[in-house]
Chain A
Amino acid sequence: MEASKVIHAIYNDDDILMSAVKQTRAAKHHIEEIYTPFPVHGLDKAMGLAPTRLAICAFMYGCVGLAVATLMMNFIMIEDWPQDIGGKPSFSYLENMPAFVPIMFELTVFFAAHLMVITFYLRSRMWPFKEAENPDKRTTDDHFLMEVPVHGDEKALHDFFLSTGAVEVNIVDKAH
C-alpha cells in the first residue's frame, strides 16, 4: 500500500466554501470529501453528487409493510380461525377490511420509516462504537474542511486553495 497525500483546505464560512467548491470543480480537481458542522444548502449540487435513492427504498419498504399486514391479518382473522367477534363479517378479507386499515396503515409507516433509517445507517456506515472519521475536530464546531488528493505539483495546489479563500491549507499523509 502506498501512502498518498491529501490536501486539507479549511474554510470558516459556508459561502466561501461553496464558491471554493465551484472553483475546485472548474479547475478539475477531484474532491475526495467535505466535512461541515451543519448541512450546507446546495453543497451536494455544487459538488455534483448523485441524488439519493433513499425515498425509493422507503416506498418499497412501505409496500412490504402493507403486504405483511394484509397477509398476516388475512391468515389470522379470515383463514386460520374465522370466529364471529361482535358480528364482524369474517367471511372474506374485503368484507372486514375497514377494521384492518388502521393496522395496515401503521405497519406501512413502520416498515417504511424503520427500514429506511436502517438503510441510511448501513449506507452511511454508522453504528455504535464506530470509530469517528474526523480529520479535524474543528469541523464539528465552526470550520469547513475540503479534502483533495494531491497529484503532481504540491505547491501549486497549496496556492490554489489559499486563493479560494481557505484560512488554512495542510498537506497530510493519509495511509490507505
Chain B
Amino acid sequence: MYTFSSRLKIFAVILIILGIIGITFGFIDSDKSLGDVKELLASESSHGGHGEAHEAKTVAHVVKGGNDHSDNTHADDTHGALSSDNHHAEASHDDEHAEHVMHQIHNRPWSALYVAAFFFMMISLGVLAFYAIQFAAQAGWSPLLFRVMEAITYYLLPGAIIVLGVAYFAGDHIFIWMDPEMVNPQSEHYDKLVAGKQGWLNKTGFLIRGIIFIAGWCLYRFFARKFSLAQDDAEKGDIRNYKKTFRISAAFLVFFIYTESMMSWDWIMSVDPHWFSTLFGWYVFASMFVSGITVIALITMYLKSKGLLPQVNDSHIHDLAKFMFGISIFWTYLWFSQFMLIWYSNIPEEVTYFITRIEDYKLPFFGMVAMNFVFPLLLLMNSDYKRLPWFVVMAGIVILCGHYIDIFNMIMPATVGDRWFIGVPEIGSILLFAGLFILIVFTALSKAPLLPKGNPLIKESEHFHY
C-alpha cells in the first residue's frame, strides 16, 4: 500500500495556489481596453519590436520621397504629402489592428489555461489507451505497472471535464466559430467557410460530443478499475474478471480511436476553423501516447525509489524507455508527414497554418522537434542508458516539456498570434494543473495495493527480464 506523503500533498497544494495566483494575474493583466492597447502599440512601435512592419512601410515611402528629392521639384511638399497620406491610411488600419491585438491579449489567459488543461488531460487519456492495449495484447511484462496506470487515469474524468468547461466558457476566446456573428449572414463578421461547417461546428454539438467522449472513456476506466480490484480478491484460478477487462479493453480501443480522432478535430483543430488536416487525429494521439508513457515511467521510478515497487526491475524501465523512444519517433514521423505534405504542395488554404507558426513561433515550432525527436533519439538509443533511471528521468522531462510546447503550438497561433509568451499565465496554468494532477493521481495510488496480485500474468511480469 502506498500512503500519500504529506510533503507531496503540501507540494501539490502549493502548486495549485501558485497556479491560481498566476492565472488570476493573467486575467487581470490582460483586461485591457482599446485605448490601453493603442498606447501599448504606440510605445512598442517607438521601441521597434512589434511595429517593425509599419516602420518598414514608412521607410519605403521615404525612399520614394528621396527619388523626388533628386528631381529637385517641390521636394518638401511631395514628401509632406506622401507622409500625411500615409498617416491617414495607417490611422484607420491602426484602429482595426489595435482591436485585433486587444482580442489577442484577451485570449491569452484563456488559451494558457486551455493548453495546460488539455496537456494534463491528454497524459491521462494516453495512459488509458496504453493500459487498454496492454490488456488487449495480453502483455506479460506490464501487469506490475497496472496500478500506476490506473491511478494516472483517475485524473481523466476531472481533467476532461475541466477541458470541456474551459472550452465552453472561453467560447470565442479560443474557438472563433463559437461567435454567433460568424454564421449570421447579416453580420459584417459573417464567414462563409465557418458557416458552411456549422453542421459540425456548433456549440450544442460540441458539448454533446464532448460529453459522449468523456462518458465513453470514463465508463471504460471505471469498469476496468472495478474488475482489476475484483480480480485481486478472486479465488485462485478464477480469472473471470481478467477476461472481462480483456473484452472491454478491445471494445474500448475501437471506441477510443474514433472518439480520439473526433476529439482532436473538436478540441484542437477547430481553433483554426479554416484549416484541416487528415492525419491530425493520429498526430495528437502520438503526442498524448508518448507523454502518457513518459509519465508512467516517471511515477514508476518515483515509487521504486521509495521502495514501494520492489518487483519492478531494470527491464521494466527499459521497456518503458523503449516505448518512449519508439513513440517519440512515431510522433516525429507524423509531425513531419503533416508538415512536409503541406509545405511541398504549398496550397494557400492549407499552408497558412505553417506560415504563421514558422514566422511567429519559430523557436517553439522547431525547438519542439529537437526536444521531441533529436533529444530522445540520441539519449535513449543506447540500451544501457535506457536502464539508468536518471537518464530516463532526464529524457522524460524533456519529452514532457516538448509535448507541452506541441500543444502550445497547436492552440496559441490561432488565439493570440504573435502576442505569445510563456510567462505568468502559462506557467501559472501549468502549475495549477500539475498540482491537481499530483493530488488526484497520488490519492488514487493510495487507494489500492500497488501489486495487482490476482492478475494471471503477474508472475510473468515479476520475473520479466530482458
> Does A pair with B?
yes
With contacts A98-B339, A101-B336 taken as known, whether A59 is within 8 angstroms of B381 at the C-beta atoms is yes
A87 at the interface (CB under 8 A from B): yes
A49 at the interface (CB under 8 A from B): no
A102 nearest in chain B by CB position? B340
A3 at the interface (CB under 8 A from B): no
Cα of A55 to Cα of B381 in the assembled complex, Å: 10
Chain B: residues with Cβ within 8 Å of the partner, total of 8
Are A98 and B340 closer than 8 Å at their CB atoms? yes
Interchain CB contact (< 8 A) of A99 among B344, B381, B383: B344
B340 nearest in chain A by CB position? A98
State the main secondary structure of chain A at its contact with B: helix
With a cutoff of 8 Å between Cβ atoms, the chain A residues found around residue B168 in the complex are none
Shortest CB distance B378–A (Å): 10
A96-125: contact bitstring with B at CB < 8 Å (1 yes, 0 no)? 001101000000000000000000000000
Are B344 and A98 closer than 8 Å at their CB atoms? yes
B328-348: contact bitstring with A at CB < 8 Å (1 yes, 0 no)? 000000001001100110100
A42 nearest in chain B by CB position? B465
Cα of A26 to Cα of B336 in the assembled complex, Å: 55
Cα of A87 to Cα of B344 in the assembled complex, Å: 10
With contacts A59-B381, A101-B336 taken as known, whether A87 is within 8 angstroms of B343 at the C-beta atoms is no
With a cutoff of 8 Å between Cβ atoms, the chain A residues found around residue B383 in the complex are 55
With a cutoff of 8 Å between Cβ atoms, the chain A residues found around residue B343 in the complex are 98
B376-390: contact bitstring with A at CB < 8 Å (1 yes, 0 no)? 000001010000000
With a cutoff of 8 Å between Cβ atoms, the chain B residues found around residue A59 in the complex are 381
Shortest CB distance B362–A (Å): 13
Cα of A101 to Cα of B381 in the assembled complex, Å: 20
Shortest CB distance B350–A (Å): 14
Cα of A73 to Cα of B179 in the assembled complex, Å: 49
Cα of A23 to Cα of B334 in the assembled complex, Å: 53
Shortest CB distance A26–B (Å): 23
Interchain CB contact (< 8 A) of A87 among B336, B339, B346, B381: B346
Cα of A98 to Cα of B339 in the assembled complex, Å: 8
With a cutoff of 8 Å between Cβ atoms, the chain B residues found around residue A101 in the complex are 336, 340
Cα of A87 to Cα of B351 in the assembled complex, Å: 15
Shortest CB distance A47–B (Å): 18
Shortest CB distance B92–A (Å): 35
Cα of A99 to Cα of B346 in the assembled complex, Å: 12
Cα of A101 to Cα of B344 in the assembled complex, Å: 12
With a cutoff of 8 Å between Cβ atoms, the chain B residues found around residue A99 in the complex are 340, 344
Shortest CB distance B367–A (Å): 16
Shortest CB distance A164–B (Å): 25
With a cutoff of 8 Å between Cβ atoms, the chain B residues found around residue A98 in the complex are 336, 339-340, 343-344
Shortest CB distance A63–B (Å): 11
Shortest CB distance B359–A (Å): 15
With a cutoff of 8 Å between Cβ atoms, the chain A residues found around residue B344 in the complex are 98-99
With a cutoff of 8 Å between Cβ atoms, the chain B residues found around residue A55 in the complex are 383
Shortest CB distance A83–B (Å): 17
Q: For window 77-106 of chain A, which residues contact chain B by CB distance below 8 Å? A: 87, 98-99, 101
With a cutoff of 8 Å between Cβ atoms, the chain A residues found around residue B339 in the complex are 98
A63-84: contact bitstring with B at CB < 8 Å (1 yes, 0 no)? 0000000000000000000000
B339 nearest in chain A by CB position? A98
Q: For window 384-437 of chain B, which residues contact chain A by CB distance below 8 Å? A: none
Shortest CB distance A21–B (Å): 19
Cα of A87 to Cα of B347 in the assembled complex, Å: 12
With a cutoff of 8 Å between Cβ atoms, the chain A residues found around residue B336 in the complex are 98, 101
With a cutoff of 8 Å between Cβ atoms, the chain A residues found around residue B340 in the complex are 98-99, 101
Cα of A99 to Cα of B340 in the assembled complex, Å: 7
Shortest CB distance A43–B (Å): 15
B381 nearest in chain A by CB position? A59
Shortest CB distance B2–A (Å): 35
Most chain B CB neighbours (cut-off 10 Å) among A55, A87, A98, A101 = A98
Shortest CB distance A153–B (Å): 39
Cα of A98 to Cα of B345 in the assembled complex, Å: 12
Cα of A98 to Cα of B332 in the assembled complex, Å: 13
A160-171: contact bitstring with B at CB < 8 Å (1 yes, 0 no)? 000000000000
Shortest CB distance A89–B (Å): 10
Cα of A98 to Cα of B343 in the assembled complex, Å: 8
Cα of A36 to Cα of B336 in the assembled complex, Å: 45
Q: For window 115-152 of chain A, which residues contact chain B by CB distance below 8 Å? A: none
B346 nearest in chain A by CB position? A87
Shortest CB distance B95–A (Å): 36
Cα of A99 to Cα of B339 in the assembled complex, Å: 11
Shortest CB distance B386–A (Å): 13
Cα of A55 to Cα of B336 in the assembled complex, Å: 26
Shortest CB distance B354–A (Å): 10
Shortest CB distance A79–B (Å): 22
Shortest CB distance A60–B (Å): 12
Shortest CB distance B344–A (Å): 6
With a cutoff of 8 Å between Cβ atoms, the chain A residues found around residue B346 in the complex are 87
Having A87-B346, A101-B336, A101-B340, one finds 7 other A-B pairs with CB under 8 Å, namely A55-B383, A59-B381, A98-B336, A98-B339, A98-B340, A98-B344, A99-B340
Binding site for B on A (CB under 8 A): 55, 59, 87, 98-99, 101
8 closest cross-chain pairs (CB), A and B: A98-B340, A98-B343, A99-B344, A101-B336, A101-B340, A98-B344, A98-B339, A59-B381
Binding site for A on B (CB under 8 A): 336, 339-340, 343-344, 346, 381, 383
Identify 10 residue pairs between A and B in the complex whose beta-carbon atoms are under 8 Å apart, listed by A's number: A55-B383, A87-B346, A98-B336, A98-B339, A98-B340, A98-B343, A98-B344, A99-B340, A99-B344, A101-B340
